[in-house]
Amino acid sequence: MIECKGLKKTFQSENGAFEVVKNIDLKVKENEFLVLFGPGQCGKTTILNMIAGLETPSEGIVTVNGKEVHEPGPERGVVYQTISLFPWLTVMGNVEYGPKVRGIPKEKRRATAQHYIDMVGLQGFEKSFPVQLSGGMKQRAGIARAYANNPIVMLMDEPFGALDAQTRYLMQKELERIWEQEKRTVVFVTNNIEEAVYLADRIVVLANRPTQVKAEYKINLPRPRNYVDPEFLRLRMEITDAVDKTL
Amino acid sequence: MIKSQKEKIQRVLAGLFSIGAFLALWQWAVVSTTLGQLMPGPITVITSFIQAFSVPIGTCTIQQHVGWSLSRVMIAYLVAAVVGIGLGVLMGWNPKIEAIFKPLYDIIRPIPPIAWIPLSIVWFGLGEMTKYFLIFLSAFSNITLNAYEGAKSVDPVLMGASRMLGANRTQTLLTVVLPASMPFIFAGLQVAISTSWATVVAAEMVRSTEGVGWVIVSAQDTNDMNQTLVGILAIGIVGFILATIMRGVETRLCKWNKSE
Amino acid sequence: MESNPKVRVNHLTKKFGDLLVLDDISFDIPEGELLCVVGPTGCGKTTFLNSLTKLYDITSGEILVNNEPVNLKKQNLAYIFQENSTMPWLNVEQNVSFGLDIKKVPEKEKKERVEEFLDIVGLTPFRKYYPSQLSSSMLQRVAIARAFATKPELLLMDEPYGQLDIELRFKLEDELVKLWQKTKTTVFFITHNIEEAVYLGQKIMILTNKPTKVKKVLDNPLPRPRDITSPDFIDLRNQVTDLIKWW
């Protein structure tokens, strides 16, 4: 479904060029939940942005469903960690934004939006503004908004990073439930090992900047997973050891 | 909450108290010192002000004068708003447009409207057009700058999100850049209404036959201090009302910007 | 109950207008104890901390440190925030010495303490660096060294590792334990992360939802260094998780 071949990304700054992504080859199967895991600032967001079409690779190509990626589009839904909801629109306004700008008639897009608002558990909050929502609720709205465009791929960049530990656990469980309900191919970026092992079908461990693939782990644990299961903990420790230290 | 209502009342009372004290001091000065030879006291001024609602100063009553001034402001202000918001947002959003127009704007902006008076008279004569032009300039400058800042500071994540959701460039401009800039634009509009009001007075003082600026200028000819002060009072009251209205509109429009 | 605890909180109650946030909280902290405090999201932990440090005026009750009412000017309390609190215009060495400068510690002793604590947190090679040149984990270590260096009566820590990558958390938690064991400082550590509370705490205090009360205080006798995969650890972690959920 997603293929990255020889991806490289170099940025220009006042201090000269710096290479963020050295070489990435990646294949993601349809409906696979792939986690990109690595230390902070290692370049995983840049990789995700290249798949999303928000950045262009300096070298290499990204294809999604056989088509080369040049720019962002509704078939590749993105959920960010930071505020990405439009603050001047209500939850409904945000979730139906995609279908609206693509010209879908009101009846149909309202129904679609409502379906996803219900799916993420925000029924009753259709008329609320983002400023009135908690962090977890904002992220749910972001997920609904991306889903409402019927994407074939969901790209999530540390969506739960700004939440406190308990809300984070809750959201991981919610996301799992939502994904099981309407499966999509997911690429999920995180630096939290528990989150990675809880959600992933497969974890790709990235090296420090300039990044490349360091290791891969298939997670075969049955879902929904248990954070204190001995195998879960063992995997956690093993993968944590495999990651580059940043200090 | 009861506490904040109480605080609100206290604030209003405090303001009224200081105004009252000022008026009392003025009245006392007029009655007891030589100030009374130079200018009338507040009671006289307020009385004349109220009279001016039925007895015309020149050809118009005070409310008609205010009406003249306000209408000049409204026309020029609205044109400035449309042009300013348009140009500002486009400059902030599109680097090419910015490269073309910003330098010219930066040169024109610091020139005060008053400096344009001679040129404007040559171009537009002494009639209404000159006044519109001057008011337009004063409003345009602020509105454009704020709209520009607003458009420039739109979170790139929001723009990325709209493109991700399928919006084309024009849609992104209209449905994301414009609403996101509203708080800035509104700040510009608020400043501009005050400067426009100040400019109309100056413009009328140059040449006109009605308006609050004219009220002041014509009083100079007859050395009528009372009339001058009536004019000043009118200017202050209307300016205050305009600012209050703007604040009220902002609270309604930019609700989403305030966290609860 | 100890007759001379380092900290004694008696019937602490805090209301904001009509809203009861802290409800009759009483507890003791013996000298030199590392107490971890956890609670559900939004349970008033921050209000609790602000009341302890008199940033908020309490509605009723008393807080005693060394059997005297808490007094920031007379007593030596240190506070570590979640966000970076290093002074950007001072380098690492100057930051660590900052607290000592304010308390007017004599020059020779000041120098000794700065050396000692820089060494414990491994920042000696970085002593001349400025905050803008350091990563967020290093900045937290500077703040922690600075706090410990003042040999406070009570060290209050509000989720200091909340924003850091997980493997860094473990390293810093170990460092904290080292500092604590060496200086025998009384520490009050607030966290959302249950694993962290079980890893660090000698005792674990669990708060309820608003109006906040102390639900339970658990003893944590596990030997150090603690193993998050050991059955005893998992057992305690589950206990805490269950206590937080049911209120």
Cα distance between residue B83 and residue B136, in whole Å = 10
Provide, as residue numbers in chain B, all residues whose Cβ is less than 8 Å from the Cβ of A129.
255-256
Cα distance between residue B168 and residue B188, in whole Å = 28
CB-based contact C81:C158 (threshold 8 Å):
yes
**Domain locations in chain B?**
1-38, 41-257
**Domain locations in chain C?**
7-245
Residue A69 and residue A185 share a domain = yes
Facing C166 at nearest CB: one of A164, A192, A234: A192
- Tens-place pLDDT, residues A12-69: 887 788 888 888 899 999 999 999 998 777 888 899 999 999 889 999 999 998 889 9
Residue A60 and residue A161 share a domain = yes
Contact C167 A243 (CB under 8 A): yes
Cα distance between residue C105 and residue C111, in whole Å = 10
Residue A214 and residue A101 share a domain = no
Chains contacting C (3+ CB pairs below 8 angstroms) = A
Residue A142 pLDDT grade (very low, low, confident, very high; cuts 50, 70, 90): very high
Structural domain harbouring A116: 82-150
Taking the alpha carbons of C160, C166, C172, C176 in that order, is the dihedral positive or negative? positive
Residues listed for chain C: 247
Residue A12 and residue A122 share a domain = no
Contact A145 B165 (CB under 8 A): yes
Question: How many domains would you assign to chain A?
Answer: 2
CB-based contact A25:A5 (threshold 8 Å):
yes
Low-confidence stretches of chain C (pLDDT < 70) are: 1-3, 55, 167, 246-247
ipTM computed for the complex: 0.77
Residue A217 and residue A136 share a domain = no
Facing B166 at nearest CB: one of A82, A86, A149: A149
Mean pLDDT of chain A: 89
Chain A's closest residue to B177, CA to CA, is A86
pLDDT the model gives residue C233:
93
- Tens-place pLDDT, residues A174-216: 999 999 988 999 999 998 889 999 999 999 999 888 888 888 9
Give me B11's structure tokens: 């604030």
CB-based contact C75:C68 (threshold 8 Å):
yes
Contact C229 A194 (CB under 8 A): no
What is the distance, to the nearest Å, from the Cα of residue C195 to the centroid of all Cα atoms in its chain? 16
CATH superfamily entry for domain B41-257: MetI-like (1.10.3720.10)
Contact A165 C137 (CB under 8 A): no
Q: Which residues contact A117 (CB under 8 A, 6 or more apart)?
A: A91, A92, A95, A123, A125, A126, A141, A144
Residues listed for chain A: 247
Residue A171 and residue A146 share a domain = no
pLDDT the model gives residue C247:
45
Residue A222 and residue A172 share a domain = yes
Contact B161 A86 (CB under 8 A): yes
DSSP chain A: -EEEEEEEEEEEETTEEEEEEEEEEEEE-TT-EEEEE-STTSSHHHHHHHHHTSS--SEEEEEETTEEP-S--TTEEEE-SS--S-TTS-HHHHHTHHHHHTT--HHHHHHHHHHHHHHTT-TT-TT--GGGS-HHHHHHHHHHHHHTT--SEEEEESTTTTS-HHHHHHHHHHHHHHHHHS--EEEEEES-HHHHHHH-SEEEEEPSSSEEEEEEEE--PPSSP-TT-HHHHHHHHHHHHHSPP--
Facing A234 at nearest CB: one of C135, C138, C229: C229
CATH superfamily entry for domain C7-245: P-loop containing nucleotide triphosphate hydrolases (3.40.50.300)
Could you tell me if C137 lies within 8 Å of chain A, comparing CB atoms?
yes
What is the distance, to the nearest Å, from the Cα of residue C222 to the centroid of all Cα atoms in its chain? 20
Residue A99 preceded by cis peptide, ω within 30: no
Chain C's closest residue to A42, CA to CA, is C165
Facing A233 at nearest CB: one of C165, C191, C228: C228
